[in-house]
Structure 1
């Protein structure tokens, strides 16, 4: 008998048993007599024991999935609470001159991020001349405007990483562009948040960016109060 014939015969047997489950009621002795190799060693076990082992294995897999879901749910809740805490800290700042420092310091503290930097451009005159508005090239501005979502990945020597206090120690970064919500793409981006870590896995390229996007949106909404007016930008 060829391999094909054997396969067809096995398929036919399997189909027959599936269509006629009462077969095992009429021949219950077969269930006790069939011996299979255990998944936990070379010993032989009955069909019922093997089925019980398979069920236990499936239950373990489901338990691990449930544990993972609960862990992810707990982590997401914790992050959401931190974002709310950080957003409240921004809302409490009344002096706009203190806002950039408050945004970066609270972000670093609440999320335990080793290094955080912020740069803004096209701000009102009273806010220019600070560390938060200096040292930004046109290339960096164009790069920020080109990002449609937060960038996460290894330190590849981007100019914004140089804004961090210790850029050489950074292994992974997250770059968050700040937008004022304007439809004009040439004036939409007005800043960037840089998050840096010596841990190469802290900001991985494969990580989700939903929470980082929320952070960028909150920072944009708060810091946009320091922007030049649309009329000033148009004349600029």
Structure 2
């Protein structure tokens, strides 16, 4: 039986290269990339290899690798915390709108609907105001302004998110703060009016917002408001 002890396996690093070849740094790099287990099999080398570091002087490869892993863990933990925070905020908003829809179904007049919207949205979501502007009745938006407003803000949709002109803010919200707004047309045929919700934060309502919860609110209002408004 032949002797299998042979030379130290650590010399395998040089085996791909003949004695006549000049060993370049790129060759070592490519070999280590192809054999990532090398330092695991030859841990004693890690004790001898040192790399300069601007802040810590000379540290071993294991220390650098450990620091990189800790940095990645910190980044992942931060992202996880952000996702959890967003999820909790979304759950809060979902619960608020669910409670709001239930309360609206119990209302018996437009005044009660208006009060409920203000009470829930302003108190629980810290929004500036919530108003219903009708297209019919003594306090209705003038017909010309109705047409101009809907053609500008609701040309191909029932919703608008973003910022309004000063005249539009005054028309819908009066003196209430309205740096950004969420608007929806009311009525299956867009005939009832507009629900406006405003925020003092210019970045709160943006054009890319999801409309799912507001669609549900719109559906509830479209059920209860026609009879209350005499349609």
Say yes or no: TM over 0.5.
Answer: yes
Alpha carbons of structure 1 residues 173 and 21: separation in structure 2 relative to 1, 3 Å: closer
- Distance in 2 (alpha carbons) for counterparts of 1:35 and 1:221: 74
Counting matched residue pairs gives 205
Q: Kindly state the Cα deviation for residue 82 of structure 1 after the two structures are TM-superposed.
A: 0.5
- Distance in 2 (alpha carbons) for counterparts of 1:10 and 1:226: 82
1:216 aligns to what?
218
Alpha carbons of structure 1 residues 82 and 91: separation in structure 2 relative to 1, 3 Å: same
Considering fraction of residues, name the structure with more helix: 1
Residue 80 of structure 1 pairs with residue 94 of structure 2: yes
Q: 2:174 aligned to 157, 165, 177, which one? A: 165
- Distance in 2 (alpha carbons) for counterparts of 1:205 and 1:161: 21
Q: 2:150 aligned to 131, 141, 165, which one? A: 141
2:11 aligns to what?
none
Would the aligned equivalents of 1:171 and 1:200 in 2 still touch at CA under 8 Å? yes
Higher gyration radius (CA): 2
Greater relative contact order (CA < 8 Å, ≥ 6 in sequence): 1
Q: TM-score, normalised by structure 2?
A: 0.72
What CA RMSD, in Å, does the superposition of the two structures yield over aligned residues?
Answer: 3.0
1:87-102 equivalences in 2 (<5 Å):
87-93=101-107, 95-102=108-115
Segments of 5+ residues of structure 1 without an aligned counterpart are 1-8, 181-186, 230-236
Alpha carbons of structure 1 residues 56 and 97: separation in structure 2 relative to 1, 3 Å: closer
- Distance in 2 (alpha carbons) for counterparts of 1:227 and 1:145: 22
Q: Kindly state the Cα deviation for residue 208 of structure 1 after the two structures are TM-superposed.
A: 4.4
Q: TM-score, normalised by structure 1?
A: 0.70
1:33 aligned counterpart, secondary structure:
coil
- Distance in 1 (alpha carbons) for counterparts of 2:82 and 2:88: 10
